Structure 1
Amino acid sequence: MKVLIITYYWPPAGGSGVQRWLKFVKYLRDFDIEPVIYTVDNPAYVIEDASLLADIPEGVEVIRQPIFEPNSILSFFGKKNKKQSGGFLNPNPSAIGKLLQYIRANYFIPDARKYWIRPSVKYLEQYVRENDIDAVISTGPPHSMHLIAMQLKERTGMTWISDFRDPWTEIDYFHQLPLSKRSKLKHIELEEQVVSKSDVVIVVGETMKKNFEKYNDEIHVVTNGYDSKVSELNEELDMSFTITHIGMMNADRNPTILWSVLKEICDENADFKKDLKVQLIGKVATEVEKDLASLNEKNIALIEYLDHQDARLYQQRSQLLLLAINNVPSAKGIITGKIFEYLQARRPILGIGPIHGDAANIVNETTSGIMVDFDDAAGLKGTILEYYDKFKKGDLTVSSSNIEKYHRKELTRELSVILIQD
């Protein structure tokens, strides 16, 4: 079987967006599926990680076509802000900033890659007719990738699988966008079209599946995962009581309750204050930095970016791994990709988010940590103190179970069954 995969993110892109299909492609040949990648030739990636190029199997065909991205023009007229470039919306934009946000939100639907749709359809229609392609797979966001595949299906009749790494109208920041009523309806309409017209829809969690089932009966959950062997982990643990978060932390993901509880414990316990080290690896919003100012700067380490391999080392050495779920209306369905790497690191997970959400279900199912609700300060304080007591005794461990099914190869096996059957 030969499949065409339409994706905006591909190495040397870094960050979370590239991981899912890079890892699927790494293992697809093991299940007699030959991937062909269609991606951009001149991308405007915020983060690059050349180390990920090593995961691309030798000989895999990668087709690159140029793209016009208006964001580069719009940013010329606005004040550049590195915090925004990492995926944050400026909460206090200038007048020109408000105008640019409005233009981006309402004139580039579904996203700023919309101008890649028409030339891509034209190119790929000829390509699939001249090559032995059995199915097309689109992965988003950006959701323009789905619109390319939808038109390709309409013109060729080929099988189409749409993959949602993140939700569309239920994504964490959708409620922040300055969308007009007409624009919101357009997003909803396009989302319904994509889901209903796909032959198969793949999502990363049960909540998204339930939300999409009203449009299509062929909805399958294939989560994200980890890719290294547990036996490879031989790192010595940090001497400090490290609480580490890997990945972007915007204002919605800012666990304000945690900073408040940590300050309270530091004020009450001099040893805890001496031992504590909070490590945030990835871009953080200004709001997060302001809240961290309540703690002693000696207890804080901010590292803007590490490549994937180095980030894994920090995970393996940490005493606790912080899983912060965005405090938004769609919080229950959020499953951040880092949770699976946390599982592989076999360090206790301290989660802050819905205790009956998709992420909490994974943490509980694997007995890999504790999820505390957004407003449960007493429960959070008690959990941290319990973990700290074990740390002081040299007994801060976790007995994770049932995590092997989240290895990328096993997940690719699940994917292959779906692709071959459909």
Structure 2
Amino acid sequence: MMPAETRKTLLMVALDYPPCQSAGVQRTYKFAQYLQSYGWDVVVLTVKEQVYERCDHSAGTPDVLHVERCAAIDAARDLAWRGKYLGFSCVPDRWWSWALTAIPAGKKLIARFKPDVIWSTYPVSTAHFIAYRLQQSSGLPWIADYRDPLQCRYDPSARRYSGLAKWIEKQTIKHCSLAVFTTDNAAKLYQRLYPQQLLRKFRVIENGFDEENFRQLAASGPVSAERFRLLHSGALYGDGRDPTPIFRALSLLKQQGKLNAQNFVLSFRGCQAQPGIMALLSELAISELVEFLPGVSYLDSLTEMLSADALLLLQGPLFNNQIPSKLYDYIRAGRPILAMTPAQSATARALAAYPQQYCAMVADELAAALASLLDERTPAALVTPTQAAVYSRHSRTAELAALLTEVCAASTSVTLSESGQGVA
């Protein structure tokens, strides 16, 4: 720990915060936890626990200076009638009501804790809007953590009500000190979208895995010598994660006599079997090769990754500029990886140096890759914790700490210049 007189304070604006159970919560969680060892105290502005659809208390919460939880509603849930809601009620996102309570609460936090920097994080546009309003009223430097591009920038289905979200994005890029993304592809996209901004405004801090999480796991047993288990951990949805090609690959291998219910199973953890998927499995005559399992805690999902024969990642062309955060958990688990993703995607590039990985998009190529995995079946981990350390959350937090120091120094320089100090 640094001496109190040299420490600085960060105000984090984040909707997803422990105990929220979501794919992206680990980024905020671990930044909040590890920044303290880099001389930063953290104040968090978030929502009340009941706003979250699912909670996971197993991983704990970081010990930060202060957490302010504000009231909000989930418009898609709380304004729905018989399971349906009006599209415009979720503009710019489902949690727009959070701004009504968070902006006045944030101003009080700034007056009380006197933070040096504001940090806000997507994929909730409202978080950036809150930070924008707080930055405008306080004049503090602000880092906008976009992670991935605004959804309407890559998903045609999200463009109907995108006007307000784009306006928030425009204000964010204009007024933030730095905009941070998780891939080079995404950062370059925004450089093209906002050519009037300096290139150095757009930075990259990738996602990662947390070694502390893996240390908490009970020792996993050896990989099963019976059925080969291919595991997909997480949700399936739309064009971006459509499993149809992998199902057709299983059908081809079954027809070739290479797969049956005794030697193989594809497990989908944490997603429900939709009627359309079940109909397709029946049509392809592979229902006995696929199972859908209920969600488990985050730590239990990591344990399951360690004991799988191989891990399946679905990241279609819609997400070419993005890398799912679970890829880094997959890498740390050290199991072979089969990725249904285009060769030019950010995900494929991230996997290029991994020792036993296959990237393919069509059924026959996926079938060939899976056949190779079956032939090369290995119980040993492909990477050691030391080899994977470059992807750790500790390393990512060091990168964020450096950016925080940079924007603080730039802000101080501007203040001195405006006041006439330091001028010869």
Same fold (TM > 0.5): yes
Structure 2 residue aligned with 1:93: none
Could you tell me which of 370, 384, 399 is aligned with 1:414?
Answer: 399
Aligned counterpart, 2:331: 343
The structure having more radius of gyration, on CA atoms, is 2
Following TM superposition, by how much is the alpha carbon of 1:47 offset from its aligned partner in structure 2, in angstroms?
1.8
From 129, 135, 154, the equivalent of 2:136 is 154
Q: Give the drift of 1:268.
A: 1.8
Q: Is the 8 A contact 1:251 1:288 kept in 2?
A: no
Counterpart contact for 2:145–2:181, Cα < 8 Å: yes
Cα deviation per residue 1:230-262 (whole Å; 9 max; x = unaligned)? 787654112321110001111321221110111
Give the deviation of 1:389 after TM superposition.
Answer: 1.2
Matches within 5 A, 1:89-104: 97=84, 100=85, 103-104=86-87
Distance 2:22 2:301 in 1: 11
Question: Counterparts of 1:404 and 1:108 in 2: how far apart (Å)?
Answer: 39
Q: Is the 8 A contact 1:36 1:61 kept in 2?
A: yes
1:219 aligns with 2:195: no
Q: In angstroms, what is the RMSD of aligned CA positions?
A: 2.3
Residue matched to 1:108:
90
1:70 is matched with which residue?
A: 75
Check the 8 A contact 2:273/2:292 in 1, yes or no. no
Partner Cα distance (1:251, 1:284) in 2: 14
2:335·2:382 contact (CA, 8 Å) conserved in 1? yes
Q: Percent identity?
A: 21
Q: Unaligned regions of 5+ residues in structure 1, if any?
A: 80-96
1:398 aligned to 2:382?
yes
Residue identity in the other structure for 2:406: Q
Counterpart position of 1:370: 358
**C-alpha displacement at 1:327, in angstroms?**
4.2
Partner of 1:136, secondary structure, is strand
Checking the alignment, whether the CA contact within 8 Å between 1:7 and 1:139 is kept in structure 2 is yes
The answer as to 2:235 corresponding to 1:248 is yes
TM-score, L = length of structure 2: 0.84
- Equivalent residue of 1:260, what SS? helix
Work out whether 1:45 is the aligned partner of 2:52: yes
For residues 342 and 186 of structure 2, what CA distance do their matches in structure 1 show? Answer: 15
Per the alignment, residue 90 of structure 1 pairs with none
Report the Cα offset of residue 395 of structure 1. 6.8
Equivalent residue runs for 1:16-415 within 5 Å: 16-52=23-59, 54-57=60-63, 60-75=65-80, 77-79=81-83, 97=84, 100=85, 103-104=86-87, 106-170=88-152, 174-177=155-158, 179-180=159-160, 183-214=161-192, 215=194, 216=197, 217=199, 218-228=201-211, 234-239=220-225, 240-252=227-239, 253-269=241-257, 272-284=260-272, 286=274, 287-293=276-282, 294-328=284-318, 331-372=319-360, 374-375=361-362, 377-391=363-377, 398=382, 403-415=388-400
User: Gaps spanning 5+ residues in structure 2: where?
Assistant: 1-7, 408-424
Find the residue that maps to 2:51 and give its secondary structure.
Answer: coil
Number of aligned residue pairs: give it. 387
Given the superposition, is the C-alpha separation of residues 66 and 271 from structure 1 closer, same or farther in structure 2, using an over 3 Å criterion? closer
Query: Once structures 1 and 2 are overlaid, which stretch shifts more, 377-386 or 289-298?
Result: 289-298
Shift of 1:270: 5.5
C-alpha spacing 1:358/1:203, structure 2 compared with 1 (3 Å): same
User: How far apart, CA to CA, are the structure 2 residues paired with 1:397 and 1:131?
Assistant: 46
Q: Which runs of 4+ in 1 moved over 6 A?
A: 229-233
Question: Which deviates the most, 61-70 or 162-171?
Answer: 162-171
The residue matched to 1:37 in structure 2 has which SS? Answer: strand
**Partners of 2:75 and 2:89 within 8 A in 1:** no
Tell me the secondary structure at the aligned position of residue 253 of structure 2: helix
Q: Is the 8 A contact 1:343 1:368 kept in 2?
A: no
Closer/same/farther in 2, CA of residues 169 and 46 from structure 1, 3 Å limit: same
What secondary structure sits across from 2:367 in the alignment?
Answer: helix
